[in-house]
Amino acid sequence: MSGLSGLNKTPGGIVISVIQAQLLDVATPKDLANAVTHVCNLVRRAKRAYPAMDMVILPEYSIHGLSMRTDPAIMCTLTGLEVQSFKDVCKELSIWGCFSIMEKNELDAAHPWNSGLIIDEKGDLVNYYRKMHPWIPVEPWYPGNQGLSVFTGPGGVKMSLIICHDGQFPEMAREAAYQGAEVLLRTAGYTPPIRQSWELTNRTNAFTNLMYTVSVALAGTDGTWKSMGEAMFCGPEGDILVRGNNDADEVFACEIRVEEVRRRRRHWGVENNLYQFGHRGYVAVQGGASDCPYTYMQDLVAGKWRTTEDPETTITDGTICGFDVPSEKFVSEFKQRAASTFVTLVSGRDR
């Protein structure tokens, strides 16, 4: 049920388009400006192709490419011309948009943020997310320090944005769903070797949390790197509703019907995993067990993460990819709130 791949929209539904934007080589401010123009023109093209479209999703690295350059001259700010152009095109077309920027970082100028932006149909920035899991050791970005957020998107649908490698960690999708996300957006610059795990994680993230996943990567080559495209819409049972291809600048769309998520979460018994994770064995004990028996969660929040292979892990910094050994410690803007929430979770009391 995709509304003929987004050509139709029925009452209560929304149409989301994704664009497999061409992978560009961006080295100068002029290259950056040209990339922004290209992205905005793609948004206009998508709206012409899918007039019922409510929201458009652009991949990670759409305006910066995969070179991993950190030159301040091509880094963006939230008040810069690049973001303003994205706001303007959303307002012009009265649609929501999801965009990617590499952003100047005042904490550590050598390691910018990899940021995702959600802009509404009025041209206002309504959600801002810093990639929590850079694709190490390849990427030099500072790890996101504000956690995951959920926002109310078009049609009142609850959404969350993750970026590329984030989606390989099931905890990311579960955190989004736990906060109420009904649609998980995932943007990427992934290359073809990741194609199989891309599908596996998109489908698994959907099914295990009974939500839609909407995912898209760059496509084409910049002469060095090649991105895979592979747009994908998955339904809340993990079924693929719409699948993309490898063509650069190709547009795909799908109708999202949020009641498909809500009725499963509210009325399913078997495989209602989001609810059951915090109510283990409710047939045997009142309300189910709501403790935290997972040592990795306890160790992570206590700052004591250590796997059995840690002492033998050979790649633990970015030197293999030409980056210097880091000298700075991580600065979190989220740790205090997360820790207090965890204490409540593991206290053994029913929620």
Candidates 30, 42, 110; CA nearest to 74 is: 30
Known catalytic residue at 164:
yes
C-alpha span between 141 and 70 (Å, rounded): 9
C-alpha span between 86 and 11 (Å, rounded): 28
Contact 170, 205 (CB under 8 A): yes
Q: Is the dihedral of CA 150, 202, 171, 61 positive or negative?
A: negative
Residue of 9, 47, 131, 158 with catalytic role: 131
Residue of 47, 60, 87, 234 with catalytic role: 60
**Residue 142 Cα distances to 34, 80, 139, 310, 320, angstroms:** 26, 20, 9, 22, 18
Residue of 98, 164, 234, 254 with catalytic role: 164
Known catalytic residue at 60:
yes
Candidates 117, 113, 52, 57; CA nearest to 87 is: 117
C-alpha span between 36 and 62 (Å, rounded): 8
Could you check whether the bond before residue 137 is cis, i.e. omega within 30 degrees of 0?
A: yes
Known catalytic residue at 98:
no
Q: Which positions are annotated as active-site residues? A: 60, 131, 164
